[in-house]
């Protein structure tokens, strides 16, 4: 994903207040965290990155004043930001066998995969999984256990076991909570409105919440992938690329319940480029009096587009198609297509692409009208207009 992602709570919009808490983001997004994954912890809360204080096993740790930390030792980590306080603890393990769960809130109806991992990914065989002390049969594939359409009864304590090289090992138990989806209001809004943004511009998404007044935590996800993208009180995507299009969704928790918004579809609008003219019947001689249709096209995904046709430098039509009926001497000359789209948050950025020139001429020795594409200027222009 391109750009920095943060989340904005607009609780005051709905007349409710919520206290933000400091959060620790984990990458890769699994819990418990294992040391051999080269883990990065990112502290998010109020204030600036320079106000971050890190703690390991209750003691100040590492270089202060940075919002991220690469973990090199096992232990329990927290961070502190003025105004939002201490984050929840993250424990980094160095055990021989670990059962990992995705580091996100699990709701009824979700699908989740639990994975059993050996120290530094040593060979692991004869794997089994247990739920609340009962061995699960026929639900896992190798080192992974997949649970689909989660229900509340899937909550509980899970562990895994297996043979690591030549020794039997069993992981510590991991608590897996499944939350009921409550009728709480979580909504997304976008600026520019509708989630449409021009390539290279910025997009702001807001997570508006109508829920209780207790401490709130957030997670931000995209396209059904539950990799955690960010938390905090304002979301911005800077310099969006065409690969940033897709559906975005936020989840909010007050520690007693979890709610999620409906997905918002984000569309990145691409400036026009590569304008071409399809001569159609002009690929061969055309008899005077016959009709001729010219078609202008641009690269895909560059809507909305306005097509303007020029004849000898003068505008003659606005349409993807130019129909010339009863070809005569008045139709002779140079034709060019100019596709335009007007993008950007303020609507004043105008992009134009120029097609190659197409010449219509009558040869002196023949009553036929012929068409040919001459080498002309083609490119993209970006300038500020009056909209």
pLDDT value of residue 163 = 92
Percent above pLDDT 70 for the chain: 72
Spatial strand order of the sheet with 23-27 comes to 23-27, 40-44, 68-70
Contact of 233 with 206, CB cutoff 8 Å:
no
Contact of 305 with 271, CB cutoff 8 Å:
no
Mean pLDDT on 352-364: 73
Query: Higher-confidence residue: 92 or 380?
Result: 92
Mark whether 130 and 191 lie in a shared domain: no
Domain-located, residue 37? yes
pLDDT value of residue 181 = 60
pLDDT value of residue 283 = 47
pLDDT value of residue 270 = 77
Mark whether 83 and 154 lie in a shared domain: yes
The count of domains in the chain is: 3
Mark whether 163 and 218 lie in a shared domain: no
Q: At which residue do the structure tokens 């930390």 appear?
A: 69
Question: The pTM is what?
Answer: 0.46
Mark whether 36 and 53 lie in a shared domain: yes
Mean pLDDT on 363-372: 53
Q: Give the CATH number, domain containing residue 378.
A: 2.60.40.10
Query: Higher-confidence residue: 383 or 167?
Result: 167
Domain-located, residue 339? yes
pLDDT value of residue 7 = 29
Domain-located, residue 9? no
Among 149, 179, 209, identify where a domain stops. Answer: 179
Average per-residue pLDDT for the chain: 75
pLDDT, tens digit (0-9, with 9 covering 90-100), for 99-125: 999 887 787 788 899 999 998 889 999
Mean pLDDT on 270-274: 75
pLDDT value of residue 255 = 66
pLDDT value of residue 184 = 54
Mark whether 121 and 42 lie in a shared domain: yes
Percent above pLDDT 90 for the chain: 13
- pLDDT band for position 245 (cuts 50, 70, 90): confident
Mark whether 34 and 126 lie in a shared domain: yes
pLDDT at 97 exceeding the cut of 90:
yes
Q: At which residue do the structure tokens 């938390």 appear?
A: 231
Query: Higher-confidence residue: 286 or 144?
Result: 144
The segment with the largest mean pLDDT, out of 68-82, 197-211, 301-315, is: 68-82
Domain-located, residue 1? no
CA–CA separation, 12 vs 17, rounded Å?
Answer: 6
pLDDT at 195 exceeding the cut of 60:
yes
Least confident of 70-74, 270-274, 321-325, 332-336: 270-274
pLDDT value of residue 375 = 42
Going by C-beta distance under 8 Å and a sequence separation of 6 or more, which residues neighbour residue 40?
26, 27, 68, 69, 70, 71
pLDDT, tens digit (0-9, with 9 covering 90-100), for 27-51: 888 989 999 888 999 888 777 777 8
Mark whether 113 and 225 lie in a shared domain: no
Mark whether 168 and 65 lie in a shared domain: yes
pLDDT value of residue 11 = 28
Query: Higher-confidence residue: 272 or 87?
Result: 87
Mean pLDDT on 156-173: 92
Mark whether 45 and 165 lie in a shared domain: yes
- pLDDT band for position 3 (cuts 50, 70, 90): very low
In the chain, which residue ranges form alpha helices assigned H by DSSP? none
Report the helix count and the strand count for the chain, using DSSP H and E.
0, 41
pLDDT value of residue 117 = 94
Domain-located, residue 224? yes
Mark whether 148 and 72 lie in a shared domain: yes
3-state helix, strand, coil in the chain (%, to 5): 5, 50, 40
pLDDT at 150 exceeding the cut of 70:
yes
Among 209, 240, 268, identify where a domain stops. Answer: 268
Among 236, 268, 300, identify where a domain stops. Answer: 268
pLDDT at 154 exceeding the cut of 80:
yes
pLDDT value of residue 233 = 46
Domain of residue 94 covers 30-102+109-179
Mark whether 282 and 321 lie in a shared domain: yes
CA–CA separation, 385 vs 362, rounded Å?
Answer: 39
pLDDT value of residue 247 = 84
239: left (phi over 0), alpha (psi -120 to 50) or beta: left
DSSP label of 8: -
- pLDDT band for position 226 (cuts 50, 70, 90): low
Mark whether 203 and 322 lie in a shared domain: no
pLDDT value of residue 177 = 86
Mean pLDDT on 353-378: 60
Spatial strand order of the sheet with 235-237 comes to 185-191, 203-210, 235-237
Mean pLDDT on 4-26: 43
Contact of 82 with 56, CB cutoff 8 Å:
no
pLDDT at 190 exceeding the cut of 90:
no
Domain-located, residue 14? no
Domain-located, residue 234? yes
Domain-located, residue 10? no
List, as one string, the DSSP characters of 310-358.
EETTEEEEESSEEEE-S--GGG-EEEEEEEEEEESTTS-EEEEE-PPEE
pLDDT at 230 exceeding the cut of 60:
yes
pLDDT value of residue 361 = 66
Mean pLDDT on 254-263: 72
CB atoms within 10 A of CB 284: 10
């Amino acid at each position: 994903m391109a750009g920095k992602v943060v989340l904005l709570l607009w609780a005051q919009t709905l007349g409710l207040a919520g206290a933000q808490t400091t959060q620790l983001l984990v990458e890769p997004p699994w819990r418990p965290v294992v040391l051999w994954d080269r883990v990065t912890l990112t502290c998010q809360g109020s204030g600036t990155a320079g106000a971050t204080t890190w703690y390991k096993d209750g003691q100040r740790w590492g270089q202060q004043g940075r919002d991220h930390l690469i973990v090199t030792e096992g232990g329990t980590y927290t961070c502190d930001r003025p105004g939002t306080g201490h984050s929840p603890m993250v424990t980094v393990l160095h055990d021989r066998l670990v059962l990992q769960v995705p580091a996100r809130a699990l709701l009824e109806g979700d699908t989740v995969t639990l994975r059993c991992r050996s120290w530094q990914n040593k060979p692991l065989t004869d794997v089994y999984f247990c739920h609340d002390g009962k061995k699960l049969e026929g639900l896992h594939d190798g080192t992974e256990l997949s649970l689909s359409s989660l229900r509340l009864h899937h909550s509980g304590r899970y562990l895994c076991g297996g043979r690591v090289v030549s020794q039997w090992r069993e992981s510590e138990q991991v608590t897996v909570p499944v939350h009921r989806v409550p009728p709480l209001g979580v909504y997304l809004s976008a600026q520019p409105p509708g989630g449409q943004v021009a390539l290279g511009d910025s997009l702001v998404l807001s997570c508006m919440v109508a829920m209780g007044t207790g401490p709130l935590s957030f997670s931000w996800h995209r396209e059904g992938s539950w990799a955690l993208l960010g938390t905090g009180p304002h979301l911005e995507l800077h310099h969006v690329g065409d690969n940033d299009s897709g559906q975005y969704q936020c989840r909010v928790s007050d520690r007693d319940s979890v709610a999620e918004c409906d997905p918002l579809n984000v569309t990145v609008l691409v400036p026009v480029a590569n304008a071409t003219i399809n001569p159609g019947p002009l690929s061969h001689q055309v008899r005077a009096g016959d009709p001729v249709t010219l078609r202008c096209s641009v690269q895909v995904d560059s809507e909305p587009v306005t097509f303007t046709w020029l004849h000898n430098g003068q505008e003659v039509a606005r349409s993807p198609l130019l129909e010339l009926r009863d070809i005569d001497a008045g139709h002779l000359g140079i034709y060019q297509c100019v596709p335009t789209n007007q993008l950007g948050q303020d609507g004043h950025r105008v992009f134009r692409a120029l097609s190659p020139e197409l010449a219509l001429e009558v040869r002196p020795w023949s009553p036929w009208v012929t068409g040919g594409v001459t080498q002309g200027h083609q490119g993209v222009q970006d300038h500020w207009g009056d909209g």
